[in-house]
Amino acid sequence: MRRRSLWADMDWLSVLLYALLVSVGWISIYAADFDGLRTGMFDLSTSHGKQILWVTVALVLAILIVIIDNKFYTTFAYLIYGLVMVMLVMIFFIGSEVKGNKSWFVLGGFSIQPSEFAKFATALAVAKYLSSQGANMKYWSTRFIVGAIILLPMMLILYQGDAGSALVFLSFVLVLYREGLSSWVLVGGGLFVALSLLSLAIDEKLYLVVGIVLATAVIIYLLRKHIRIAMLVGAIAVSSIGYIYAVSYFFGKLKPHQKDRIEVVLGKLEDKKGAGYNLDQSKIAIGSGGFSGKGFLNGTQTKGNFVPEQTTDFIFCTVGEEHGFIGTMIVLGLFMALLARIVYISERQRSKFTRLYGYGVASILFFHIIINIGMTIGLVPVIGIPLPFLSYGGSSILSFTILLFILLKLDSDRLAVLR
Amino acid sequence: MDIFKNRRFIILGIFASFFVVFALHLFYIQIIDDSYEALANQNVIRNVTVYPNRGLIYDRNGMLIVENDATYEIFVIPKQVKDIDTALFCQLLAIEPQYFIDQMTKAKNYSRYVPSSFLKNLSVEQYASFQEHLYMFPGFYGDIRLVRKYPQHSAAHVLGYTGEISQKKLDAQSYYKSGDYIGISGLEATYEPFLRGHKGSKLILVDKFNREQGSFKDGIYDTAAISGHNLTVTLDIELQVYAEQLMQNKRGCVVAIEPSTGEILVMVSAPSYDPNLLTGRQRGNNYVMLQKDTLKPLFNRAISGGSYPPGSTFKSIMALMGLQEGTLQPYDVYPCFGGFRLGSHTVGCHDHAQLTDLSSAIQHSCNAYFCYVFKNIIDQSKFATSDEALAKWDSYLYSFGLGNKLGVDIPGENSGHVPTPKYYNNIYQKGHWKSSTIISLAIGQGELGITPLQMANMTCAIANRGYYFTPHFVKFIENDTTNFVKHYSGKNKTKVEQRYFDEVVEGLYQTVQAGTGRIAQIEGYEVCGKTGTVENPHGKDHSAFITFAPKVNPRIVVLAFVENSGFGATYAAPIASLVMEKYLNDTIAANRLFLEKRMIETDLIHPKVISSNEAP
Ligand SMILES: [Zn+2]
């Protein structure tokens, strides 16, 4: 067995991309936080000061992850998953409420959000299960078990009131797809999203229903030679109509502010000071950045506190306002490069476990990036989830660092072992 | 073995397609669409108008008569108002909840994004307590505004007032914005272009709570306000205050002019009002109150009251015309048997001593004498028609500043009325009127209309022996490159030569020495004067007195006009002469203090007081 230096087979390109993203994040936090008074880099009363501390902790953690034998992750995948699930349950009893979500443990001056750690734990568990002997996506039993592994944390987190973090677990669909889940699920998922948006966007459901019925009639007529497929299309049409009414029924049950947020994105509500405020202001901040931005520390919207949560969920605004289109393209480019690199890394594994985990990492990161940036530029409803590596916050930076570095550790051993 | 390996391309494709869509969207909102930049500026940049100091006004002796007082104005940007404690808000500003609702509705209807004025004229103290709570009221902010203050509480009609610009004026120009203050009447209106200065502007960065964060780009787009020009006026404010005091509880006016320059020393229109009533928060209410007052305190009788016939004071002009035309000689004597009769026309006269010459006719104000003078002018054989004769007669009056606006530098002047041939042709038809028809003009009655200012100015022309300067208030405008004041330095010559004046002036001197104006004598000065009584068909006659002194090189002309007060010597002459004495001597002689006291205490407006005062 080959025994090489711990670091020789590290994927340094990924580490570089990681370092760049964290740096961009810290600079943006510094700018968003800047008040002209507390300019010290290590001032712990500021967000940028605390972020340095968190990044330092994250780096120590990253080194630990690399030092630990990689058997640890495969061996204890279920245990880690189990522990995090226990934490998610315990939170109902001893958790603290922050911003309306009872999903935090407060320790000393710092608060930790277990749902952040549920992401890598679930990625480990899914990888462990699907790489185990006898698991295959073509069996219903496998589908059922892997579904349960994903849905358990999702439901627990949803029940805490943190819908944004719960939705992240939907991203595992991509992992399952890679492992053989039917393409119909992706198509169905797309149809599901499209129908959901349409049924919320169009007030008169009857038009939608009539449209579906007519389209289905035409398709069935064309497919009249293929009775089975025609019947399938008919069944899909019927369930679509049912789904439309179900969506509008549940939409009616939503709390007013939740409804408003959805309606703003759909363009049905144009109250610039109401629900659309966050969205509108962040779009203004980014849009006003122009090609090269207003310059470091010169963002007027961020200085005026017009954008809420500007160090956490809306950190991308600071990039867009102060560094313009160049800045946003650099950030998008870094993320795309990292995602592509992770897919590349995943595919070069001989270990199925590592490959599965790698896709889990890519999917989770992708979902976060799309939802967060999409929200700041007004393409997605306001869902409060952080932008990986850039957003301020200990739980966020630690969990994404753990997520990525476990993969890099597993990858660095790809030549040494075969599992 | 891994049959799904190619799915990695589909997954990468999904990743990439989202990134491409995002990049395109960012390209659109950051580079193509400019509206976000405008919205961002609207968010954070508040364009604040910097109002200049309005020019101060001083009197001829350098006494400050108009200054500026700091108040605050509250503005609202309806879009930014959110979740405020209305009860606390109303309490801090001392306003009714209904006012809050009304103003918010008004502001929203105007614009949700542009600031509207919410409340004006907040005192410095009131604003201070509000400002402490300003952070609780996003969408509101305060700004300093200067309002006028009149420390002497005097000369309201001359100084005029300022107020918000009217919609009509607003539409006609571009400098002023809605809610700006502008001079509406008096000197404030005439000298608006000098007094207003030039507004500046500054861009201030604000946060979402409207708290100021400093100036935008270190103020490179800011422009400083330029203060207005200070104005020195010809008024003698102490004398003005004194004249107002003498005129209290009376209707009428006092005008004093320096004849050698045309500078107006005093212009009182009674009843008057404290000019401070038309500044500040109660301005609107006070204005309505003054407007409803049946005594018309807002009305400047001195320049706008054009319907008074001049009465006997006009006889001097008649004499001068006769002398110039050669139809009258200083030694001419005409019979008076208690009046003048010509055909069916009769003009009565009062008892007086035997006349010896023109001077004595003026001294005793004989009506018959001046009817002859008038008749002889009009009936000259050189005139083919009455039209021609009257046109000539009119031209003399015009040269004395009658019948047309004098051009005094405050708005609202009436031109008075000098009847033209056309005027009588309309009444009697052409060729059907002659000197006897219009004989009442001879003694300043009939169809003549003359403003008190014109009467005072006419007296200046007599005092100067043949010329006058357009009466005016402006004395000096600070830093005025156009030299506006020179408009008032030109002599206006009368059509009567200087050599004819001495006889008339002598008559006016004798009037005070031994005639109807004896009460106007001032120790140590040769005072000239003429009483006048203006018939008033609606009630008690108006009394008038014109006077100037000294006889040679006169320093002051005073006109007093007291409505419904009877004979000229009773009130008009004492008031005019007291004003004159105060000006010439700075003090009132001890033996005339009783007169001063009586004039101040006389009340001709409130009936009860009149009866108690006039009871024997
Ligand atoms: Zn007589």
Q: What is the ipTM of this complex?
A: 0.85
pLDDT surpassing 70 at residue B559: yes
pLDDT surpassing 70 at residue B510: yes
In a domain, B294, yes or no: no
For residues B153 and A190, the model is more confident at B153
B contacts of A287 (beta carbons < 8 Å): 29-30, 33, 35-37, 39-40
CA dihedral B306, B308, B311, B315 (to 10 degrees): 10
Same structural domain for residues B197 and B309? no
For residues A82 and A266, the model is more confident at A82
Number of folded domains that form chain B: 2
Same structural domain for residues B314 and B398? yes
Of B233, B257, B290, which residue is a domain's last?
B233
B contacts of A373 (beta carbons < 8 Å): 22
Interface with chain A: mutation pick from B2, B26, B207, B218, highest number of A CBs within 10 Å: B26
CB distance from A242 to chain B under 8 Å? no
Residues A31, A299: Cα–Cα separation, whole Å? 8
Of B207, B233, B259, which residue is a domain's last?
B233
What 3-state class would DSSP assign to A110? strand
| Per-residue pLDDT tens over the stretch B358-372 | 999 998 889 999 999
Residue B543 alpha carbon to ligand 1 centre in Å: 19
Residues A403, A405: Cα–Cα separation, whole Å? 6
Same structural domain for residues B159 and B243? no
Interface with chain B: mutation pick from A170, A322, A335, A336, highest number of B CBs within 10 Å: A336
For residues B404 and A47, the model is more confident at B404
A contacts of B18 (beta carbons < 8 Å): 366, 370
Same structural domain for residues B211 and B325? no
Q: What is the CATH number of the domain that holds B58?
A: 3.90.1310.10
Out of A285, A304, A347, the one facing B207 most closely (by C-beta) is A304
Report yes or no: B233 and B55 within 8 Å, Cβ to Cβ. no
Would you place residue A310 in the very low, low, confident or very high pLDDT band (cuts 50, 70, 90)?
A: confident
pLDDT surpassing 60 at residue B395: yes
B158 to B170, B242, B302: CA distances (angstroms): 24, 15, 10
CA dihedral B317, B552, B526, B546 (to 10 degrees): 30
Given an 8 Å threshold on Cβ–Cβ distance, is B37 in contact with A288? yes
Same structural domain for residues B412 and B440? yes
Residues pairing with B232 in the sheet: B58, B476
The minimum CA-CA distance between B51 and chain A, rounded to whole Å, is 26
| Per-residue pLDDT tens over the stretch B414-438 | 998 899 999 999 988 888 888 888 8
| Per-residue pLDDT tens over the stretch A117-159 | 899 999 999 999 999 888 888 888 888 999 999 999 999 888 8
Percent of chain B surpassing pLDDT 90: 44
User: Mean of the per-residue pLDDT values for chain A?
Assistant: 82
User: Mean of the per-residue pLDDT values for chain B?
Assistant: 87
Strand pairing report for B57-58 and B231-233: parallel
Q: Which residue of A has its CA nearest to B38?
A: A288
The residues, any chain, with a CB within 8 Å of residue B394's CB and separated by 6 or more, are B403, B418, B419, B420, B421
Out of B4, B15, B44, the one facing A366 most closely (by C-beta) is B15
pLDDT surpassing 80 at residue A253: no
Given an 8 Å threshold on Cβ–Cβ distance, is B14 in contact with A174? yes
In a domain, B24, yes or no: no
Would you place residue B456 in the very low, low, confident or very high pLDDT band (cuts 50, 70, 90)?
A: very high
Would you place residue B279 in the very low, low, confident or very high pLDDT band (cuts 50, 70, 90)?
A: confident
Which among A121, A195, A105, A118 is positioned nearest to A155, based on CA atoms? A118
Residues B406, B131: Cα–Cα separation, whole Å? 51
pLDDT reported for residue A274: 44
Residue B463 alpha carbon to ligand 1 centre in Å: 25
Would you place residue A272 in the very low, low, confident or very high pLDDT band (cuts 50, 70, 90)?
A: very low
| Per-residue pLDDT tens over the stretch B14-69 | 899 889 989 999 999 888 887 777 777 766 667 778 888 899 999 999 999 999 98
The residues, any chain, with a CB within 8 Å of residue B236's CB and separated by 6 or more, are B59, B60, B61, B256, B265, B266, B583
Given an 8 Å threshold on Cβ–Cβ distance, is A286 in contact with B40? no
Same structural domain for residues B207 and B332? no
In a domain, B296, yes or no: no
Same structural domain for residues B521 and B453? yes
| Per-residue pLDDT tens over the stretch B201-212 | 887 777 666 667
Residues B264, A361: Cα–Cα separation, whole Å? 93
pLDDT reported for residue B557: 96
Residue B371 alpha carbon to ligand 1 centre in Å: 10
Residues B15, B542: Cα–Cα separation, whole Å? 100
- What is the domain extent for residue B193? 45-233
Give me the numbers of helices (H) and strands (E) for chain B, helices first please: 22, 20
Residue B331 alpha carbon to ligand 1 centre in Å: 16
Out of B5, B11, B29, the one facing A377 most closely (by C-beta) is B29
What 3-state class would DSSP assign to A264? helix
Q: Where are the domains of chain A?
A: 12-179+270-412, 204-265
Same structural domain for residues B473 and B521? yes
Same structural domain for residues B209 and B334? no
Q: What is the DSSP string of B414-479?
A: ---B---HHHHHHHH-TTS--TTTTGGGGGT-TT-B--HHHHHHHHHHHHTTSEEEPPB-EEEETT
Would you place residue A1 in the very low, low, confident or very high pLDDT band (cuts 50, 70, 90)?
A: very low
Residue A347 alpha carbon to ligand 1 centre in Å: 133
CB distance from A63 to chain B under 8 Å? no
Residue B344 alpha carbon to ligand 1 centre in Å: 19
| Per-residue pLDDT tens over the stretch A161-182 | 777 888 889 889 888 888 888 7
Q: What is the CATH number of the domain that holds B578?
A: 3.40.710.10
Out of A284, A328, A362, the one facing B36 most closely (by C-beta) is A284
The minimum CA-CA distance between A335 and chain B, rounded to whole Å, is 9
pLDDT reported for residue A419: 43
| Per-residue pLDDT tens over the stretch B205-241 | 776 666 677 777 677 778 888 899 999 999 999 999 9
pLDDT surpassing 50 at residue A270: no
Would you place residue B613 in the very low, low, confident or very high pLDDT band (cuts 50, 70, 90)?
A: very low
A192 to A150, A187, A198, A375: CA distances (angstroms): 19, 8, 10, 20
Same structural domain for residues B252 and B118? no
pLDDT surpassing 80 at residue A107: no
Same structural domain for residues B247 and B189? no
Given an 8 Å threshold on Cβ–Cβ distance, is A332 in contact with B23? yes
Same structural domain for residues B249 and B205? no
Mean pLDDT, residues B537-557: 89
Out of A178, A325, A377, the one facing B11 most closely (by C-beta) is A178
- Torsion sign across C-alpha atoms B288, B291, B292, B295: positive
Given an 8 Å threshold on Cβ–Cβ distance, is B25 in contact with A304? no
In a domain, B393, yes or no: yes
Which among B352, B354, B367, B359 is positioned nearest to B330, based on CA atoms? B359
pLDDT surpassing 60 at residue B184: yes
The residues, any chain, with a CB within 8 Å of residue A219's CB and separated by 6 or more, are A230, A233
